[in-house]
């Protein structure tokens, strides 16, 4: 046996030990078989030199137009491409919104637990191993479907989430956005021995240090950076919630936007969404904290537009994360430039009340109507260049875009986004107490001996009665550290 092959085999064996914590909570099936083509899922061979020894599966709706987006979806340990195809909900939105999906698959031939090698520099770096194979799949799919290279996105669960973060760092020129579900920050571990430590609690690094790990993955690259969604259950004891905080710190630092959210709100399934806007006021990083959810991908079976997926091992019935991720990326608004009409200019907020937002925008020549989107979902079609959105919640931030629609019903490019906050709402409340008391009162939680504020996941220090902080609550259930002054 050649020495290089022997070293590769030894590396795979060591990786199995490093991932024992994941193995303890994932499927204990005797073996993981390659995904069989099921329904519209098809295997592709010959997509490239495949240095990472992966398998490629794909799904595309019939009559997919040119310049449509492309999504890459990475399964978790012990799962297959077919598991992710069947339960994640991505095929539903590929049909509804019009895009292709690539489902890469690793197998027991690469790793005894079929985990992507997010912890292995030979697999997760630019031009190396599994990461290079996934990018080859992207290039193949772009040529096959005529996909828009400006709209390529990657998402993954657990080990697939860790690989997603690594891909975003190593290939920011390939991926416009990513979504990490119960995953790890980019380059959290660079050895087999470090993998388990990342899962239970990553290193206590500053945002700048986490950001440097991204910047170091593709030296010299200066942007644009991918837009990143982060999904995490507060009761995940396989990949601990501290990883979501590290991911937030990492990508907000890369964007240079700080770690204070621009807006927060509550979604179904006990989900708190925190949005971090870029300098233009567009969401760059979004975190979704799911109260009481364990390790897995959030799904919500049903026929509604915002429902998706199927419950199964590590597909947990809470909220359709795939829908909200797609909306964050803008997949629901069609292909930019797909219609003939340009984006309306001058979208502005003209008034707010406790339960409504009024908007206006400039007319577009040739428009038969205008589609108004709130938080990514269409809420109205109007022939006017004004609209009042009723029935809203007081003291809540909402984000709007508008697209002109031609006489055939084809929407043009969406406008720039504006944010409006309704009036009123419950006033902020302030609580000063020891870390121990904040946890006991349900305003914070513990992870690995440290305390984190509920909602914002800001690190409050050690879990004891000697450290005191002031927490500000706004909106309900969302707490931020406000030691320098808390105005209720």
- For the annotated catalytic residues, the residue numbers are 158
Q: How far apart are CA 242 and CA 253, in angstroms?
A: 17
Reduced to 3 states (helix: H, G, I; strand: E, B; else coil), residue 366 is: coil
Contact 41, 57 (CB under 8 A): yes
50-60: buried (b, 16+ CB within 10 Å) or exposed (e) per residue? Answer: bbbebbbbbbb
Give the orientation angle of helix 242-255 with respect to helix 207-215, to 10 degrees. 70
Q: How far apart are CA 90 and CA 57, in angstroms?
A: 13
Residue 233, token pair as written in the block: 């259950």
Residue 255, token pair as written in the block: 């964007």
Q: How far apart are CA 427 and CA 421, in angstroms?
A: 14
Q: How far apart are CA 429 and CA 427, in angstroms?
A: 6
User: What are the angstrom distances between the C-alpha of 286 and each of 18, 58, 306, 476?
Assistant: 30, 27, 18, 18
Residue 416, token pair as written in the block: 């720039």
Residue 256, token pair as written in the block: 């240079």
**Eight-class DSSP state of 330:** T
Closest CA to 313 of 25, 113, 72: 25
Locate all alpha helices (DSSP H) within 201-341, ordered by sequence: 207-215, 242-255, 321-329
Contact 18, 192 (CB under 8 A): yes
Contact 70, 153 (CB under 8 A): yes
């Amino acid at each position: 046996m050649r020495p290089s092959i022997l070293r590769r085999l030894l590396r795979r064996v060591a990786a199995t030990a490093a991932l024992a914590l994941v193995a303890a909570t994932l499927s204990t099936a005797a073996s993981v078989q390659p995904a069989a083509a099921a329904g519209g899922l098809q295997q592709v061979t010959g997509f490239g030199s495949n240095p990472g020894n992966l398998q490629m599966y794909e799904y595309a709706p019939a009559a997919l137009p040119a310049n449509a987006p492309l999504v890459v979806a990475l399964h978790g340990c012990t799962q297959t491409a077919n598991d992710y195809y069947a339960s994640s909900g991505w095929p539903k939105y590929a049909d509804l919104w019009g895009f292709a999906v690539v489902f890469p698959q690793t197998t027991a031939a690469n790793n005894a637990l079929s985990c992507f090698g997010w912890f292995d520099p030979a697999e997760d770096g630019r031009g190396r191993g599994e990461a290079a194979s996934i990018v080859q799949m992207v290039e193949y799919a772009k040529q096959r479907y005529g996909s828009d290279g400006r709209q390529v996105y990657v998402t993954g669960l657990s080990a697939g989430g860790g690989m997603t973060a690594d891909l975003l760092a190593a290939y920011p020129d390939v991926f416009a956005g990513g979504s990490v579900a119960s995953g790890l920050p980019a380059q959290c571990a660079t050895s087999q021995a470090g993998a388990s430590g990342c899962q239970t609690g990553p290193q206590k690094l500053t945002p700048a240090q986490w950001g440097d790990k991204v910047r170091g993955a593709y030296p010299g690259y200066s942007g644009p950076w991918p837009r990143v969604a982060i999904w995490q259950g507060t009761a995940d004891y396989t990949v601990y919630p501290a990883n979501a905080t590290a991911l937030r710190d990492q990508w907000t630092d890369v964007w240079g936007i700080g770690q204070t959210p621009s807006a927060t709100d509550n979604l179904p399934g006990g989900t708190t969404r925190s949005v971090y806007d870029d300098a233009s006021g567009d969401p760059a990083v979004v975190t979704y904290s799911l109260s009481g959810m364990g390790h897995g991908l959030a799904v919500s079976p049903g026929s509604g537009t915002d429902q998706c997926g199927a419950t199964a091992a590590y597909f947990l019935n809470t909220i359709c994360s795939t829908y909200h991720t797609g909306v964050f990326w803008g997949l629901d608004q069609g292909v930019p430039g797909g219609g003939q009409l340009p984006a309306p200019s001058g979208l502005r907020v003209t008034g707010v009340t406790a339960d409504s937002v009024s908007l206006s925008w400039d007319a577009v020549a040739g428009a038969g109507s205008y589609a108004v989107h709130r938080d990514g979902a269409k809420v109205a079609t109007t022939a006017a260049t004004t609209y009042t959105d009723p029935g809203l919640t007081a003291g809540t931030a909402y984000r709007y875009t508008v697209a002109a629609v031609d006489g055939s019903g084809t929407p043009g490019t969406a406008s720039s986004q504006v944010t409006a906050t309704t009036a009123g709402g419950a006033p902020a409340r302030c609580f000063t107490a020891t870390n121990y008391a904040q946890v006991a009162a349900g305003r914070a939680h513990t992870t690995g001996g440290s305390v984190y504020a509920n909602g914002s996941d800001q690190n409050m220090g050690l879990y004891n009665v000697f450290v005191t902080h002031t927490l500000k609550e706004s909106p309900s259930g969302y707490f931020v550290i406000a030691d320098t002054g808390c105005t209720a």
